[in-house]
Amino acid sequence: MKQIITGFHAIEEKVRSACESGKIEGLSLSYSKIGPRVKKILDVAKTAGIPCSQSDNKMLDSLVQNLPEVARDHRGIVLVFEGAKESPQNEVNFDTWIAEAALSEDKSTIVVLDEITDPHNVGAILRSCDQFGVSLALMPQRNSVGNVSENEIIARASAGASSYVPCAVVKNLNRAVQKIKEAGFWVYGADAGGESVQKLTFPAKTCIIMGSEGSGISRLLEEQCDSIVSIPTCGKIDSLNVSVATGVLLYERYRQSL
């Protein structure tokens, strides 16, 4: 399997992640010209022993031709990952993770993505997850974006955070949330009609469920929520974009922990 990654942030973080884990086999960089951003990436890659070869834009165009349109803007550098077989380091087994979390008294935050299918939104959410210390991002196997680690749009939209944020995919999201509650987490659903987040104090173990772009949180998941939380706004449209809303709620969770 060959994975093609574009975008300065996504490439740089993938290279750094690979260097830190020591898993650089199969990675190679192709570039057309050396600007400040490209030079910075090349310096890290060469130090780690990742092969780097100079080419031209025509060659790079051929590498990215099968990517989604938004990911074809390579800006003069492309990361190729040949023969990826192992799961990324940040892909975790949910059952193992939640069993360990149940025994821990440490502060922990889970974000559940309920049928969020836009990879741009997922990428932006993962970026916020990274910035505000989320312990786990959880999503369903069906009606989702698929494999986060292999989605070039998510990698770009997350600015590389998709290489770091612990992620788990489950077959039954409703059952997974039940296990989250059994592990001692308080579960909050995000919806415009809920209690203002300004009046809420998040507990040490917090789970926040973000609903789909169109229909919001599914009925079964909403029934499991301990509370529904909203963000006070003053605009003329109905609600915030799901990725923006996630960022606001995660910031408030992080701010309370400072």
Each residue's pLDDT expressed in tens, for the chain with a length of 258 residues: 678 888 888 888 888 888 887 778 889 999 998 899 999 999 999 988 899 999 999 999 999 888 767 678 899 999 998 865 555 668 888 988 998 899 889 999 999 999 898 999 999 999 999 999 999 999 998 877 766 755 778 888 888 888 889 999 998 999 999 999 999 999 999 998 899 999 999 999 999 999 987 788 999 999 999 999 999 988 777 678 999 999 999 999 999 988
Question: Do 65 and 125 share a domain, yes or no?
Answer: no
Helix (H, G, I), strand (E, B) or coil at 91: strand
How far apart are the C-alpha atoms of 61 and 19, rounded to whole Å? 26
Quick: pLDDT tens for 98-121. Answer: 988 998 899 999 999 998 989 999
Residues in the chain: 258
Work out how many domains the chain is built from and give that number. 2
Quick: pLDDT tens for 33-46. Answer: 889 999 999 999 99
Alpha carbons within 13 angstroms on the beta-carbon side of residue 46 total: 10
- Assign residue 13 the CATH number of its domain: 3.30.1330.30
- DSSP alpha helices (H): ranges in 172-236? 173-182, 219-224
Domain that holds residue 190: 94-257
Question: Do 168 and 52 share a domain, yes or no?
Answer: no
Helix (H, G, I), strand (E, B) or coil at 144: coil
Please report whether residue 26 resides in a domain. yes
User: What local confidence, expressed as pLDDT, does residue 146 receive?
Assistant: 60
Strand pairing class (77-82; 27-31) = antiparallel
Please report whether residue 33 resides in a domain. yes
Question: Do 78 and 107 share a domain, yes or no?
Answer: no
Contact 11, 41 (CB under 8 A): yes
Contact 27, 79 (CB under 8 A): yes
- DSSP alpha helices (H): ranges in 78-184? 94-103, 119-131, 152-157, 173-182
How far apart are the C-alpha atoms of 67 and 193, rounded to whole Å? 39
